[in-house]
Amino acid sequence: MYIDEIYAARDYIQSRYKNPIDVAIVLGSGLGPLADVINEPVEIDYKDIPYFPVSTVPGHAGKLIIGEIGGKTVACMKGRFHFYEGYDMQKVTMPIRVFSALGIKNLIVTNACGGVRDDLNPGQIVIISDHLSFMMPSPLRGPNLDDFGPRFKDMTDVYTSTLRSLAFESAKKVNVDVKEGVYCFFKGPQFETPAEIRAFKTLGADMVGMSTVPEAIVARHSDMKILGISLVTNKAAGLSSNELNHIEVMEAANSAEERLVKLVKQILEDM
């Protein structure tokens, strides 16, 4: 049973790290370097955690790193799972269930995304205010996990407003420019078409990407506080003359990593 797998993974992690953990962090494409600033890290390979998936995407490692940043104990996923890799939504979000089972109350989830709104250009950091998810299967589909949350969960404040305000204050302190926007999930792995981008722009999408939303929904199900941070790596399809490719995404992410690490460190300090 899925629930038994979750608890088996939790028990294994607890056998490697016994203390309470304040914040879980999921790192997106090219955003791995945050894991390098973790003090006194305990590294756990995904392959050693019972039932944990392993990532298949270049630029996504496969380690859970637990330690200290900014005075907080963090469990950092270096490497995450995507629906497009072939995992079902329960497998994609299993780590979040495990974090919740470990008693972790806060989640910071990061991603690389395409900018849809006119002012969202490559290099821009955006705090996610809300999301569009109706074209994806829900990770909550199937028997409800009553240990975690209710069958029908409110999704009004998925990206916790207090954490969003805090992130803006932290960004000011470290002089990093941040904006706010609505993230729209696409299943991928192909990039969107220009027609899709035009359609979803009219529906209120500011950014598009292939991650984050499944994790956020599952974290919200068990009342974790969530902060979503997007890095715009490219203009979305049809909005620039560049052909989209993963290398461009990785390069843009790498060149912003220093700012992003500075911001997340400050946020952790302020939480």
Catalytic residues: 29, 60, 82, 84-85, 112, 210-211, 234, 246
The answer to the question of residue 210 lying near ligand HPA (CB under 6 A) is yes
The answer to the question of residue 236 lying near ligand HPA (CB under 6 A) is yes
The answer to the question of residue 122 lying near ligand HPA (CB under 6 A) is no
Kindly tell me which residue out of 73, 100, 133, 233 binds ligand HPA, with binding defined by CB under 6 A: 233
The answer to the question of residue 34 lying near ligand HPA (CB under 6 A) is no
Q: Find the residue with minimal CB distance to ligand HPA.
A: 114
The answer to the question of residue 250 lying near ligand HPA (CB under 6 A) is no
74: which 2 tokens?
């963090």
Instruction: Tell me how far apart the alpha carbons of residues 45 and 43 are, in angstroms, rounded to a whole number.
Output: 7
The answer to the question of residue 112 lying near ligand HPA (CB under 6 A) is yes
**Of 4-12, 91-99, 168-176, 205-213: span binding ligand HPA (CB under 6 A):** 205-213
Nearer to ligand HPA, 43 or 248 (CB): 248
**Of 90-98, 172-180, 203-211, 263-271: span binding ligand HPA (CB under 6 A):** 203-211
In DSSP terms, 72 is beta-bridged to 69
The answer to the question of residue 209 lying near ligand HPA (CB under 6 A) is yes
Residues that bind ligand HPA (CB under 6 A): 112-114, 186, 191-192, 208-210, 233-234, 236, 244, 249
